[in-house]
Structure 1
């Protein structure tokens, strides 16, 4: 993200909640809700990777998964990011875009290199959703010098609606920000 770019007012609150989570394993996990091909809602857990702009977040996904077809068909998604230790929840709504290596090989390669060898291993597994084959391959690690797989996709979500629910005070604090109002904060009932 460009350092000169002004952060929306909800970003420091989200960053503070993330910091309070510390190194808890689930601190970077977000739940992604999308519309399935069959018209039913689908929810999955993904790992937050980084911000590519002030209101644009990056995740990684596998092009072989159903979610990619769903997002191409209906790009509007919502994420729920629960910070248990901080006792805060953020709901982030936006438009998702899948970026293939041909679209931004530099950004994808950067994310690939940032993954740990065990983190890279899931990208060498068989396609998600296929029938299970115990023969695999199921590597536990993929080395640093391994080539980036063709099915790695950057899932870039341009956010336009953010809600925060702070469960610490009584009554709880719930805030809403919309990009259409230049992220003007609105307090709403919890």
Structure 2
């Protein structure tokens, strides 16, 4: 798993721009948060905020989710998604479109174990809380931490997004710079009106 590394000649050209925006953002709160737009079973839209976890060896964008939430079932029904990643300090936005694939601990134990190890103890705790979306009960359990060495939660699911299109909107120049890349065009850059 990689956060941004890889041979430059193998990476799509937009990856360097995305990496640059991330670097300009620095450690700003929320700089790793993306909004995931998907479709529910009833055809209505859903938008959720998730945390960027890196790139798979094959270049898929990686996110984590809870198997007990509605998201995995919805993505199995309709895997097409769009992500919006706003970099406020860098004044850039990336919209990433593709298909989501769900990876469970049974399917790729090494990848899930790697992500589990890299989570902080407090970050792991949410997978030990009661089922997401159910009525709240103070009784919990609501652990604050899941310590290092604990086994991977069976509720941890890795989302890998196989990207088909990326758009960048750079708000710094006048006029703003909007670019688009599509996998089917071998990631050839097209300039669009902002």
Shift of 1:131: 0.5
| Equivalent residues of 1:7, 1:54 under 8 A apart | no
Query: In the alignment, does 2:136 pair up with 1:140?
Result: no
Structure 1 residue runs of 5 or longer lacking an equivalent are: none
How big is the alpha-carbon RMSD for the aligned residues of Structure 1 and Structure 2? 1.2
Q: Which of 34, 48, 54 lines up with 1:44 in the alignment?
A: 48
SS at match of 2:127: helix
**1:64 CA drift (Å):** 0.5
1:39-81 Cα deviation digits (max 9, x unpaired): 1000000000010146411100001010111100000000000
Give the deviation of 1:11 after TM superposition. 0.2
Secondary structure at the aligned position of 2:31 is classed as: helix
The residue number in structure 1 matching 2:69 is 65
- TM-score, with length taken from structure 2: 0.95
After TM superposition, the structure 1 = structure 2 runs for residues 1-190 of structure 1, keeping only pairs within 5 Å, are 3-4=6-7, 6-53=10-57, 55-190=59-194
Change (3 A) 1:57 1:67: same
Distance 1:45 1:149, change over 3 A: same
Q: Please give the alpha-carbon distance, in whole angstroms, between the structure 1 residues aligned to 2:102 and 2:136.
A: 26
Q: Where do 5+ consecutive residues of structure 2 fail to align?
A: none
After superposition, give the CA deviation of every residue in 1:76-111 in whole Å (9 maximum; x if it has no partner). Answer: 000000000000000000010000111100000000
How far apart in 2 are the matches of 1:162 and 1:83? 15
Q: Deviations over 1:124-144 (max 9, x none)?
A: 111110100111111111100
> What is the total number of aligned residue pairs between the two structures?
190
Segments of 4+ moved more than 2 angstroms: 1-5
- In 2, the alpha carbon distance for the partners of 1:55 and 1:159 equals 9
Q: Tell me how far 1:31 sits from its aligned partner.
A: 0.3
Distance 1:170 1:128 in 2: 44
Q: Aligned equivalents of 2:171 and 2:142: distance in 1?
A: 41
